[in-house]
Each structure stands twice: as C-alpha cells, then as structure tokens.
Structure 1
Amino acid sequence: MDYQNHEIQPGMEAMMARADEAAADPTRPVYHFGPPSGWMNDINGPLLHKGYYHVFYQLNPFHTDARYGTHWAHARSTDLVHWEHLPLAIWPSTEDGETSCYSGTAAFNRDGQPVILYTCTRRWGRDRVVPEPFEQWAAIGDDDLINWTKYADNPALSHERDARPEFDWRWRDPFFFFEQGRSFMVLGATGVGTPIWESESGDLLNWTYRGLASDISQECPNLFKLGDDWVMLTSPYTPVDYYIGDFDIDTYRYTHRVNGLIEPTKTFYGTNILFDADGRCLLFGRLLRTFEGAAWNGCMAIPRVLTIGEDGHPRQTPVEEIEMLRGECHSPPDTTLSGTSKVLDVRGDTLEIIVEIEHTGASFAGIRVRRSDDGADGVRIGYDGDSVWVGGIEIPYPQAAEQGSIKLRVFLDKSVIEVFVDDGARVATNFIDCGVNDLGIELVARGGEAAFRSIDIWEMEPIR
C-alpha cells in the first residue's frame, strides 16, 4: 500500500509483515487493544475529535526497545473498545539525525489546529561520542488527524536554547494542560524537577519558560485538574505515582498534600489522560512486556475512569463501554467454604469475573484463575486479612478487614490480567504465564471460613 507520507512506508510494512504471526500467538490478548505487531510502549496524546477517540502510542516495528526506530502509531475508536488502526503519525527523521520519537502530548491550539509535541532523540550508546541532548519537536495534523507534517522550525524547544544548564540532557515527555484560557506544558526527567512553560500565543509551538512547577522529576508527567483538585501522575521507572494537591497559576507552582501508587506494578506505565464529552477523566496506560524476537510485545490497558474518592485518594474503574463485549453469563450459586476449595464448572481464558467475598475467618479467601486440571498451577487472587494478592503481587489493603468483605472485578485476557478491588479502590495489572490448556476457575478458603456471593462470569468477545 502507498501512503500519502512516504516516510512512514518502511514502518508500516514492518508492522504489517508479522501481523498474522502475532495474531496466531495463543498468549496474545484478544479484547485488549494492541498494534498489529511490534513493540508497544507509552500512550501519548489522546484526543476526542469528530466523534472519535484517538490514541497515539510509541511503537517500534523493527526492534524490542525504544532506542532506534520508535514511531508514533495511531488508532481511533467510537466506543473505547473497538479500535481502527490508522497510518503511523510520527516517524524518525533519520536524514536530520533523529533516531526515535519518544513520548509527548497532543492538543488543539487556539486556532483549532491539531499539534503534537514529542521528544526527538539522537544517537545512543557506542554511536554517541558525546551527549546529543534530546529536543522537543512539533508536528501539525490535518483536520482528520490522519496525516502529520513536522513543524518547519523544529526543534520547538532545544536543550541549548530553552533548557536550563542543570537539566539532564535526556529531558523528555512533554504534556500540555490548559487553565483559565491559558496554555501550559510540563516536561519530565530533568533531574531537578518539573519545569513549566507557557504558550502565550496559544499556538502550542512557541513557549516561554516559567520556572519549576515542582521538585518532582520523573518520566511522563501528567498534570491536570480533576474536580477541585490538581493531580500529577508520573512514571518513575517503578510503579506509577500519583500526587493530589493544588496548582497556583500566578506562581506556576504545584504542591501536593497526598501521594501514593496508582497500582503496585510497573506493567501499567506511561500514562495519559483525556476528558471526554461527558466530563469523564479517562486514564490510559500501556502494559509493557519485552520478549526479544516476539511478533508482539505489549498492549493497552482497558481505559479507566479516574475519580477522587471520599478518602481523597484515586479511584479507577474500567469504562462502562467494555461491558459491550460480554457474551454468555454464568452465575454459580453463592457458596460458603471452610478450609477447602471448589472448582467451578466454568472455564476460559477470556473472561470477566465479579465476585463478593466475605472473609469471616479464613486466612486467605479468593479465587484461582487459569487453574490447571491437576490443580498444581493457577493464578491466585484474593485477600489474606492485610493485603490483596494478584498472583505474586501484594497490595496492602487494611480497610478490607474493617469491611469484612471485598469485591473483586477481574478481567482475564489470555496472558493479561486486570483486577479492580472494591470499585477501583485498589488495582493491579500484569502479564501472567500459564499453560494454554490451563482454563479452570476455583474458589478458595484457607484456614477458616469464607462466603462467595453474587458470582458472575462472562465470556468476553474479541475485538479483532
């Protein structure tokens, strides 16, 4: 196929060359969105335009890392569930010394023009004799957001001209936000804090430095207003951090009063947000895996609605649109177990499971999914009196002891598992390694009694 922009041709051909191989992999998720093939990384610059949700994301169709050949891939959806692959949006301009297109942001400027701002990287490792500082490059889209043209005056920000001497040369990951009719941008990984710029013209191409908004310095900073609070999300090479506090538009300073982890694994990472037409704050993140030589690596988490709970901490729930994938429903009867387990008649590896568990005396109460027929293997999800466990992942949750029960909502999709506890008070996401024939589901109560109520299990339809 010929594309309007011939620069994306090699990447498109590489991405499609292994699409059939990726689709045939029995471990590949079928209702989580991902590229046809290749290595998927951070979600970038989600937009809502002409009835479509657009997501951009880092994709390397050639290698299983970000350093050489990373593009911005692009997809759109009318329902946040079924996605249409579009031509690659941003490509490395190798003739200008660009090796990869790192994370960034997208928005419509004051004139309604779509603008992407992303981090341009240069040579790495043995190819780099001295540091070649990252730059922030812009691209301008057409009215359908399909074809993008790089800004003629790139770089929009250079380390030499726009950064401070103390900024790390790998400064990166710009993020736009808007307040009181003004246009701002923050950047990450400077080593000294989160710098902030303002586009006084609102064109999102020309920027004035306003100082450090915060002393926090991590990858992928997202700074946005949610209700009366200001939230910052960062991806600090470890699980995603959240901060909740205030932004002073007069001093350009962000201060937080609450912080914690969005979830306990680094699998969910590289976040971005979008406010939709209904005012929902949609949280996007990628689920990273890196298997050298694999036809596919990574996928997008189910989009989440982010809110602030009554306790002042985040709540994350899957978008309600995911329920359109529900197929046949199985509702086993309520069951009470004491020091034993029960294998259900329902089997599968593409399921949604909801269960309420009253842990009246058990030292552990929960379920096992992807259980082997002999019971030797399976992924354990449940509560031990202090923490929720998802496989080998521990999530401290002392509140459940006071409640006397927990509600689990589990999305099982081949090698991916997403677990939402008590309507998003706690969340855990990960890849799991199970035998392809390990499809059983088991209720478990160890060391005492537990009751399992309101069990619903749906077979989920694929999106491709």
Structure 2
Amino acid sequence: MTLVLKRQENMEILAVLVGLFCVLQSNGIEVEALENGCQNFQSHTVMLQEQQSYRSSFHFQPPKNWLNDPNGPMWYKGVYHLFYQYNPYGAFFGDVMIWAHSVSHDLINWIHLNHALCPTEPYDINSCWSGSATTLPGKGPVILYTGIDANHCQVQNMALPKNLSDPLLEEWIKFAQNPIMTPPDGVEGNNFRDPTTAWLSHDGKWSVIIGGWSNNQGMAILYRSEDFVNWTKNQDPLYSTERTGMWECPDFYPVSVNSTDGVDTSVLNEGVKHVMKAGFNSHDYYMIGTYVPEMEKYIPDNDFTGTSMDLRYDHGKFYASKTFFDSVKNRRILWGWVNESDSREDDMEKGWSGLQSIPRHIWLDRSGKQLVQWPIEEISKLHGKKVSLFHKKLDSGSIFEVQGITASQADVEVVFELPELQQAEFLNPTAVDPQLLCTDANASIKGRLGPFGLLTLATKDLTEQTAIFFRIFKGLKGYLVLMCSDPSRSTLRDEGR
C-alpha cells in the first residue's frame, strides 16, 4: 500500500538578485585590519527560467551557481545571518571559493547581500574556505575561516565587522596579521581546516578546534587564546581516533540533559552533555559525551567505530553541517549542505547546484544516547492550502493519489496505523546496517510489514518517482521502524535530467 503525491509542472520561483560588489569591516578587538575587496568576484544578476521544475521553494538556495558548506550561522541585532561556500563563476565546485552572505528575520525568507569574504591576500588568495562565527561578549561577532594561501596551504584567518551598529553586517575586514594559526608540526598543509565556533572555558580563555589528520588519526586540534588574537596549540587534541579519516567541518557544542532548549556554546555545568561532530567518508557523524575542561579532554559515551553503526545526523544527502545557538528562542539550530546527484553537465545546464537543508531544531533525546531534530516552527510560514484526509483504508498493494495539491512541493504529515504488528519480521539492530538494508530491500521488495509510504514527484504513469517508505520489524526489546528512500527511479533521462 502506497500513498502517491502527483507531480505538477507549475512552480512559483522567487528570484532574489545578488548584489554586485562587496566591501569590508571591523570589530571591538583592537587590531589593524585590511579591506576585503570583492570587486573581482561580482555575482551578476541572472534571469531564472520560467520553469525550473527541480528548483526548491522550501530550502535555501542562491539565485545561481554552486553552493556548499554553511558557514558562520548566527543571530545579531534582530537578524539571522547565513554565510556559505559559493563559486561566483559557475554551477560547480570552483578553484576559488568565497563566503556568500544572506540574512533573514525568520530563517525562511532570505535576502542575498554582497559577498562577505573573497580571496584577496596571500593567506587566502586561493580560496576562503569554511569556518564559524563567534560572538564576543560586549564586542560583537568575529569570523574564523580557513584560507588557502599562495602555497596552497590551509591556514586560519580572522575577519571582523566594519560597523557593529549595522544589523546586516554588510561589510567585513580581514585582520592585518593573518594568518593567526598555521599547520602545526606533524600536520600536513592540506589537513588543517574548518575552525569551529569558539567557547569561553573555565579559566577565562577562548578555545576552538580545527579539523585535522596526523599519524593516521582524525582529530579535533585544540587551540586556546586569552584575547582571540594570539592562539596557542594545546599539547594534545581535544579528541582523536584511528578509526576515521581526516576530520572536516567539526562542530562542538553542549546540549541540555533535561530540556529541549538549546544552550550557549560556552555553557558548562552538570546539566549538559557535549556533542562532538566530524565529517568524514562524505557523511556527518557525532558522539555524545563529557567535556573535562581541566584536562582539556572529551570523553565520549561511545567512541567512533568507523562503521555504519556510528551515530549520524542524517542518512541522506547531508554534509558539512553547522549548528548555532539561537538566543531569541533558546534553541540550537542545525544547518547542513544538501549535495545533489546531478552530473556536472546537468548542473551547468540548469545554472545552479546545491542547497541547504531546512533548518532544524536539535536537542538531546530523553535517553541521553542520541540527538533529536525537527524542522523549525517557522517552516509553517511556507504552508499554503491545506489538504486533509482521515481514516483512509489502504489495502495491500493499493495506490492512492492525493487530490487537491496544486503545487509541485508540499509539506506532508501522515500517520499510518498498522493493527497487526505481531506479523513483523525479527531484526537484530546490532547486527544490521540500516542503510544497507534500505538499499538491499528497496521499495520494490515486499516484506511482512512494508514497504508502505509515499511516492513523491511521481509522473502520471509512475515511470518516474521517488519512494519514501517504511518497514516494521520486531526487535530485541520492542518494535523497530526503518525509514528509507529509493531514488532508483527518480530521474527521467529523456528529459535531460
């Protein structure tokens, strides 16, 4: 039994024009600064095609070109900011990448501003790669980012707002004494990147971690500073392991053990656990554990194993994620890059590639063993006409089309009731890779309880469809629900897709 959402060919496109130049800025830290001219990286306006059936209206996207990692999300003076990796020259990952910049009042509707950081100096002349934003008490936000220098070495740099009274933070300047961190002994120049949001530790010093690889270990390289300008590498990483590859886009933050509310990155008390996230093998993995600042050690409840059993934010297209603490609504919000599966030729033809996930509120499960996430409440602003169905009986093998949906994109809430769960097959979750199980038992393989679910973006004859389906199993201590997607029939090649 399957529920079908029929694909419609019409889509409303909102094209926001990108600014034609970018400038530069300064903060409360007493430093010299250099202007960060982006004149050579202007993103010219583009008219979108009237029909772009595959462009999202729900997810964040620039009007054109390539997008990847979310960088430095934050709230400042009533405005949400999102920076991101961007190629101003085309719909593919570029030899030179910049920080694009957009702002919003609700995390849903975005205005694209001038680019924030562009390669202009010897320490970032070959790209401004990923990083984070930290708000210094009484001084405002500071950006730490990875620059690819003239020798193609990865170094860490700082940038500051020029005008702290500007809620849009439209102009940024670079610290004249960049780089402020360079690859330490034992770490090669191409394995040292992506600084996290910094936190204020128990001794009044700032701490930040950089993703790295050394001695066959993936690691969170720890640096500390009294003034946010002069940084000293800690003798040992905050955490390292031989079971992973190079760590990309690490994230480190506290979560409350008793509440769904988020907490500031610098909070440290008995009421929080700490999440350590790292990107490797093209996926984002995380651990939950205890941060011991006196020893500058992170002790995970369960170590990375380097296998599919490690915890992941998402088993779909989701990478290089970044969280930030939203002090307005006391929540921690998670962004992730959604990489597409199109070919380079397809991306160049349509003129864009990549989008950001819908922002998610994230918190610690009551068990304390994993994280829980849910789309932020503001997503309801995108809802239009509501179509409701109740108590629809679906027989085995039946297909039912939802009528009344006139948009090609919809937010679906569906509840399935299965009265005979005792028929479920037994599954030992500790002995099975759920992702492999989804692949091996795709939507066309019948089981005792499943598959059932949705066919989305389905053509009338169902030759093209994306199945989102469920299977129910009997586990060691109850029932297990496996949620899968099957993209094997998602593309019609005769449409050039």
1:268 to 318, 321, 341: 318
1:71 and 2:158 matched: no
1:171 and 2:201 matched: no
For 1:241 and 1:274, how far apart are their aligned partners in 2?
17
Match of 2:33 in 1: none
Pairing 1:146-157 to 2, within 5 Å after superposition: 146-157=170-181
Asked if 2 retains the 8 angstrom alpha-carbon contact of 1:3 and 1:9, the reply is yes
2:479 to 379, 391, 402: 402
Asked if 1 retains the 8 angstrom alpha-carbon contact of 2:464 and 2:489, the reply is no
Q: Which has the higher strand share?
A: 1
Q: Report the 3-state secondary structure (helix = DSSP H, G, I; strand = E; otherwise coil) of the residue aligned with 1:351.
A: coil
Unaligned stretches of 5+ residues in structure 1: 124-130, 387-396, 407-420, 439-464
Cα distance, 1:314 vs structure 2: 0.8
- Give the letter for the 1:138 counterpart: M
- Evaluate the alpha carbon distance shift between residue 270 and residue 96 of structure 1 in structure 2; reply closer, same or farther with a 3 A threshold: closer
Match of 2:14 in 1: none
- Evaluate the alpha carbon distance shift between residue 182 and residue 357 of structure 1 in structure 2; reply closer, same or farther with a 3 A threshold: farther
Cα distance, 1:98 vs structure 2: 1.4
1:249 to 289, 293, 299: 293
Q: Report the 3-state secondary structure (helix = DSSP H, G, I; strand = E; otherwise coil) of the residue aligned with 1:323.
A: helix
For 2:299 and 2:486, how far apart are their aligned partners in 1?
29
Percent of pairs with identical residues = 25
**Aligned-pair RMSD on alpha carbons?**
2.9
Q: Report the 3-state secondary structure (helix = DSSP H, G, I; strand = E; otherwise coil) of the residue aligned with 2:108.
A: coil
- Evaluate the alpha carbon distance shift between residue 231 and residue 428 of structure 1 in structure 2; reply closer, same or farther with a 3 A threshold: farther
- Evaluate the alpha carbon distance shift between residue 428 and residue 219 of structure 1 in structure 2; reply closer, same or farther with a 3 A threshold: farther
TM-score by length of 1: 0.77
Q: Report the 3-state secondary structure (helix = DSSP H, G, I; strand = E; otherwise coil) of the residue aligned with 2:358.
A: coil
Match of 1:349 in 2: 408
Pairing 1:208-219 to 2, within 5 Å after superposition: 208-210=232-234, 211-216=236-241, 217-219=246-248
Match of 1:442 in 2: none
Q: Report the 3-state secondary structure (helix = DSSP H, G, I; strand = E; otherwise coil) of the residue aligned with 1:190.
A: strand
- Give the letter for the 1:357 counterpart: F
1:308 to 342, 364, 367: 364
1:200 and 2:226 matched: yes
Q: Report the 3-state secondary structure (helix = DSSP H, G, I; strand = E; otherwise coil) of the residue aligned with 1:384.
A: strand
Unaligned stretches of 5+ residues in structure 2: 1-19, 25-35, 257-271, 303-309, 424-448
Q: Could you report, residue by residue, the CA deviation over 1:356-384 in whole angstroms, capped at 9, with x for unpaired residues?
A: 11233643221212222123332211212
Pairing 1:364-443 to 2, within 5 Å after superposition: 364-386=451-473, 402=479, 433-434=490-491
For 2:49 and 2:157, how far apart are their aligned partners in 1?
32
Match of 2:65 in 1: 38
Cα distance, 1:291 vs structure 2: 4.2
- Evaluate the alpha carbon distance shift between residue 22 and residue 367 of structure 1 in structure 2; reply closer, same or farther with a 3 A threshold: same
- Give the letter for the 1:16 counterpart: H
- Give the letter for the 1:157 counterpart: M
- Evaluate the alpha carbon distance shift between residue 384 and residue 400 of structure 1 in structure 2; reply closer, same or farther with a 3 A threshold: farther
For 2:38 and 2:489, how far apart are their aligned partners in 1?
34
- Evaluate the alpha carbon distance shift between residue 40 and residue 97 of structure 1 in structure 2; reply closer, same or farther with a 3 A threshold: closer
- Evaluate the alpha carbon distance shift between residue 254 and residue 2 of structure 1 in structure 2; reply closer, same or farther with a 3 A threshold: closer
Cα distance, 1:400 vs structure 2: 11
Match of 1:133 in 2: 153
2:249 to 198, 220, 226: 220
